[in-house]
Structure 1
C-alpha cells in the first residue's frame, strides 16, 4: 500500500511539475509576443524585413496580416511599408549586415507580394491603362544586378493608372528598339549603386544620340538620394525621390486626377 501511495504521490507531483512548466512556457511566449509587438512604423518595417528574409515561407505574410489588423490599409501596406522594407534590405546589404542568400530570399518574396497584389481585384481596378493612354518604360540595364527597386517603382506607377513595360537587362540597341516600337511618356531607371550610375550615364548618352525623339528620362533609387548633381552627371532630365515626384515633373495624368476632373465636370 505504501508503494502504491508513494507512486500516486510521485505521479501527482510529476503532473503538477509538467503543468507548471507548460504554464510558464505559455506565459513566456505571451510575454515575448507582447514585448516584441511593433508599436511604430519603423518597428513594423524592421519586423517585416526580418520575417521576409527568414526561413519561414509564410511569417512575412503573418506580419502583414497583423499590421492590417491594427487598421493599416492594404494600399498603405503596398505603397509605404513594403517599399520601405525593400529599401531597408538594400541598406542592410550595403552595410554587409545580411547575406546574399537573405537578400535573394527577401527580394523574391517581395516580388511575389507585388505579383499577388497586382492580380487582386483591387490591383486590377487600379491599373487603368486604356483610359489614360500613358505608358512608362522601366529600364534595367544588362549590367544591373539590383532589380527590386525597379519592380517596386513599377508597381507604384501602375497604382497611379499608368501602364508600365519592363525592359530587363536589354542591350542598348534592344532598348532603342523597344522605345521606337512603343509610345512612352517617360523612361525610368532605378540606380542602386555607384556602378549603376556609370552604366546609366553611358546608356542615356547612347539613347540621346541614337533616338530621333527621346522621352523624358527619370532616374531614382537609393544612390540618387545620396548623390549630388546626379542629373548633370548622368544626363537624365530629372532625378527624383519618389514616384509621385516623377509623375509631377513629367506632367503625367493619374487615375486620381482623371477621376477628380470627371467629378468636377458633372
Structure 2
C-alpha cells in the first residue's frame, strides 16, 4: 500500500480536479508540510497564485467536508486539513515560501468580518476577508464574539460594511437572532452582508436573517455597499 501511495504521489496531476485531489490528500496527511509542497508544485506547473487562493483552495475545503460526510476521512483529519487551509490565508506564506500576491492599497474603508461563535466553518470568513483586502478594504476579523462584544467593536470603529460568513441553515437561524440584537441596540448600522455556502443552497437568505444583502463574491459585496476600490478610483467602469 505504501508503494502504491508513493507511485501515485510521483505521478504529476494533469487536470484541475487531479490537483485538488492531490492537495486534499496532503491536507489530511500526517506530514505538516506536504500541502505546501503541493502548492509549490502547482505554481511551478503554471497555475496562477490568484487561482490557487480563490478557486483551488475553496474547492479543496468543500471536498474536505464531503470526505467527512462520506466517511472518507476522519473528523480529526478533516479538522487538521481545514486548520492548514486557514493557516495559508492567515500567514499568506503558503506558496513556495514567497507569500501570497500583494494586496491592494487600503482606501480608508473598513469592514468587520464576523465568524459567529455558532458557526464552526471559519475558512469562508478568512477567504472572504482576503478577497475584500484585494479590493482595498481594511478587514477586521471578529471570531466567536457575542452580541455585546460585537456592539463594542462596531462602536469603536467607523465600519463601511459588516459581513457574516454562514455555512448551514442552523447557523442562518441563529444569525437572524444576532442581527436582530445588533439592530435593536445600535441606532445606525453599516450595511450587513451575509455570504458563505448558505447563499448558494438556500433562498431569500438576506430576508430570512435580516441582513441587507446576500452575496456569493467579494465583488458583489463592495458593489452593493457602494465601497470604492482601486478600479473605481482610476475610472474603471466595473468593480473587479
Asked if the contact 1:191–1:221 (Cα under 8 Å) also holds between the matched residues in 2, the reply is yes
What SS does structure 2 have at the residue aligned with 1:166?
strand
Matches of 1:189 and 1:170, distance apart in 2: 12
The aligned residue for residue 171 of structure 2 is 196
The aligned residue for residue 76 of structure 1 is 51
Matched, 1:112 2:87: yes
Worse-matched range after superposition: 184-193 or 67-76: 67-76
Asked if the contact 2:49–2:101 (Cα under 8 Å) also holds between the matched residues in 1, the reply is no
Per-residue CA shift, 1:34-87, capped at 9, x if unaligned? 7x4322222211221111111111111111111111211222222221222123
Q: Which of 198, 201, 213 is equivalent to 1:223?
A: 198
Worse-matched range after superposition: 38-47 or 93-102: 93-102
Matched, 1:261 2:238: no
What SS does structure 2 have at the residue aligned with 1:151?
helix
What SS does structure 2 have at the residue aligned with 1:104?
helix
User: What are the ranges of 5 or more consecutive residues in structure 1 without an aligned counterpart?
Assistant: 1-24
What SS does structure 1 have at the residue aligned with 2:114?
strand
User: What are the ranges of 5 or more consecutive residues in structure 2 without an aligned counterpart?
Assistant: none
Higher helix share: 1
Asked if the contact 1:204–1:234 (Cα under 8 Å) also holds between the matched residues in 2, the reply is yes
Give the root-mean-square deviation of aligned CA atoms.
2.6
Q: Which of 183, 187, 197 is equivalent to 1:208?
A: 183
What SS does structure 2 have at the residue aligned with 1:170?
coil
The aligned residue for residue 156 of structure 2 is 181
Matches of 2:158 and 2:175, distance apart in 1: 21
| Superposition TM-score, scaled by structure 1 size | 0.78
What SS does structure 1 have at the residue aligned with 2:53?
helix
Matched, 1:237 2:212: yes
Whose Rg is larger? 1
Matches of 1:98 and 1:176, distance apart in 2: 39
Asked if the contact 1:47–1:63 (Cα under 8 Å) also holds between the matched residues in 2, the reply is yes
Asked if the contact 2:166–2:196 (Cα under 8 Å) also holds between the matched residues in 1, the reply is yes
What SS does structure 2 have at the residue aligned with 1:187?
strand
Question: CA 1:29/1:228 → structure 2, altered by over 3 Å: closer, same or farther?
Answer: closer
Matches of 1:221 and 1:80, distance apart in 2: 14
Q: Which of 122, 139, 149 is equivalent to 1:164?
A: 139
The Cα of 1:91 is off from its aligned counterpart by: 3.5
The Cα of 1:165 is off from its aligned counterpart by: 0.5
Matches of 1:208 and 1:192, distance apart in 2: 22
